[in-house]
Amino acid sequence: MNFEFSEEQTMIKDSVSRFVRERYDFDTRRGIIESDDGISREFWTMFAELGWLSVPFAEEYGGFGGNVVDIAVVMEEMGKGIMVEPYASTVVVFGGLLSASTNAALKEQVIPSIIEGDCLGSFAYMEPQSRYEMSDVSTTAIATGDGYTLNGVKTVVANGGTAHKFVVTARTSGEQFDHSGVSLFLVDATAPGVDVKAYKMMDGQSAATLTLTDVAVDQSQLLNAAGEGMDLIGQVMPQILIGLSAEALGIMATLNTLTVEYSKTRQQFGAPIGSFQVLQHRMVDTFMGCEQTKSMLYRGLCESKSETDAVALAKTVHALKATVARYGKIIGEEAIQLHGGIGMTDELNIGHYVKRLMMINTSYGDGDFHQKAFNQLSYSA
């Protein structure tokens, strides 16, 4: 199996890596987080100019025509800089749902604006009672003439405070927990009845609570057939989980590198702590955890590109997310402990990497959730 990136993928990887290294240092990131928006509009415009926002979109919309491997390449390098700009929420998730949509007019209208950097988007699916179960939807969409009226509350909407548009899950039929009957609507952030309350998460990224009160949407704003939204989500979810896992891998690799470098300079008992065999063993364990995560990620990438059936791919991405949760916790804890007291301070970047790892773990299901899902698929096979 050839795991080498293509020439185009290597160029994208080098482009993001160079930007992180030269333009996105830790102090710059902290300044962005402390700004009113919590993101850099200037950098987002640069991302558009560099072509990063076009990576996963079809050429007919002005995109690069890339695939999940290209997304993983970008996300891994962005993870190394723990970038707070909404690439995952806008391009991978929001853009991924639109790309999979059967509404051609909607795609032609919105996707080019994402590529140009003019449209920031987010996926509003989580509700106060739903936790990780996406089909637990109490937000309602009542048919009214040529459209629908939406009512409900969505929580922890990634980068909801800066989003121009949302893909919203709402129930058009069935009971609260039914898989069928959930529909996907494109909702403008400025539409009457839409209330957005933004706040900062512990990793520095922003989120929002989205309240919908008698929000009128036209039938043309449906992403696919009414009641079949969960099928579209299931189609895009492997790409989303692989992208987030690639970001996590970039963070893990960076934590390992920073920890090894620090162990060569910190003196204890007249010698660098990296010379102590017991600490060497622990750093080998974290290195192996990172490599095992990379292996699972590459398996997911290979299966995404092959003719693997949907169930086999779902098992792999569940296993990948569970692996990220397991080794992300180990690597994060070891990095903080081996840095000693300074590892706990906000002035050092270590804690910020670990916080982002923790948030990735809770995104679209934590390790326990995905382990359970993997087990269920394995037992039913």
Q: What pairing do the DSSP bridges indicate for beta strands 147-158 and 140-144?
A: antiparallel
Q: What mean pLDDT do residues 342-353 have?
A: 90
Instruction: List the one residue out of 116, 76, 112, 111 whose CA is nearest residue 95.
Output: 111
Q: In sequence order, what are the beta bridge partners of 147?
A: 144, 218
Domain ranges for the chain, please list them: 7-119, 122-227, 230-380
Q: In angstroms, what is the C-alpha Rg of the chain?
A: 21
Q: For residues 56 and 71, is the Cβ–Cβ distance under 8 A?
A: yes
Q: CA 122 to CA 157: how far, in whole Å?
A: 7
More confident residue, 304 or 370: 370
Residue 380 has pLDDT above 80, yes or no: no
Is pTM beyond 0.85? Reply is yes
Asked if the 7-119 domain carries CATH number 1.20.1250.20, the reply is: no
Q: For residues 273 and 263, is the Cβ–Cβ distance under 8 A?
A: yes
Share of the chain above pLDDT 70, in %: 98
Q: Quick one: CATH architecture of 122-227?
A: Beta Barrel (2.40)
Provide the strand spans (E) within the chain.
121-124, 140-144, 147-158, 165-171, 182-188, 194-200, 206-218, 267-268, 271-272
Residue 1's pLDDT is: 55
pLDDT in tens, 85-135: 999 999 999 999 999 999 999 999 999 999 999 999 999 999 999 989 999
Joined together, the tokens standing for residue 380 give 């039913």
Whole-number Cα distances in Å, 258 to 216, 264, 310, 325: 51, 10, 38, 20
Q: What would the CATH number be for the domain defined by 230-380?
A: 1.20.140.10
pLDDT in tens, 170-212: 999 999 999 999 999 999 999 999 999 999 999 999 999 999 9
Query: Which residue type does 315 have?
Result: K
